Amino acid sequence: MSYRNLTVKRSGIEGYGLYANEHIKQGEIIMFWMAEAYLIPEDEYNKRQRQNDQQIIATGARYVGPMFLYTDIGLNKDRYENYINHSYKPNVLYHCGVCFALKDIYPDDELTVDYTYLLSSDDQESFVDADTKTLVRGTDWRTCLLHTAKQLTNLLSNVSGCASDSDKVAESAKKINLYVSEKYAIEQAGCSPKSISESSDSYGSDLGHSPNLEHSPDLGQPQAKIIDS
């Protein structure tokens, strides 16, 4: 779910890509990947990929720890995050379902993220990086969490004026981790997966947004605007 003004259009990297329509400062939040998403354990994610589940293939991404998220697909359900392309020199950091600007991003800049942190280590959707011509593969959840947490800490520590944002992110991360632990326990017990937006009011209020992030007044772009040119 986009937090900033973005557009989807043809990419020089691959297919369609995600572009900024405004100046996004280093350290600022760009998207909430986990808004209106569903959670599944990593082994189930891998299993459904092998079964050629197009919803998982098109929208699946690592969330926190051994949990993956996926979103709805179909008419009027396109989401900005599903169009972001890969780069080993990205301008966006993905950490636990939230995307941060690694550097200043300007209008018409294409947003890119390192897919190493989105894919499973057994992911069926590995592909070749356009620049290095090497195979892009996911990593295990511990390595992913350690690397992205370190990058986020360095990013927010080095950006002027981000101290208060850093505190908010840290507090939000605690709430997200508690929520994921609860959801994982429920799903391991055999209950059907639920949308993250179906969390209790306490999670939503502690995160600073209503539980249904898609309808929060703070989020201006629940659906992707695509320019086919």
Which structural domain range is residue 171 located in? Answer: 6-224
**pTM value surpassing 0.85:** no
Q: How far is CA 199 from CA 32, 39, 95, 97, 203, in A?
A: 15, 12, 20, 15, 6
**Residue 50 pLDDT:** 93
| Confidence class for position 159, pLDDT limits 50, 70, 90 | confident
| Number of compact structural domains in the chain | 1
21 part of a folded domain: yes
**How many angstroms separate the first and last alpha carbons of the chain?**
23
Q: Which of the given ranges, 106-120, 130-144, 178-192, has the highest pLDDT on average?
A: 106-120
Q: For the domain that residue 123 is a member of, what is the CATH number?
A: 2.170.270.10
Percent with pLDDT over 90 in the chain: 46
pLDDT averaged over the chain? 77
Give the DSSP letter string of 128-185. E-TTT-PEE----HHHHHHHHHHHHHHHHHHSTT-HHHHHHHHHHHHHHHHHHHHHHH
d(CA 176, CA 182): 10
1 part of a folded domain: no
**Residue 131 pLDDT:** 86
229 part of a folded domain: no
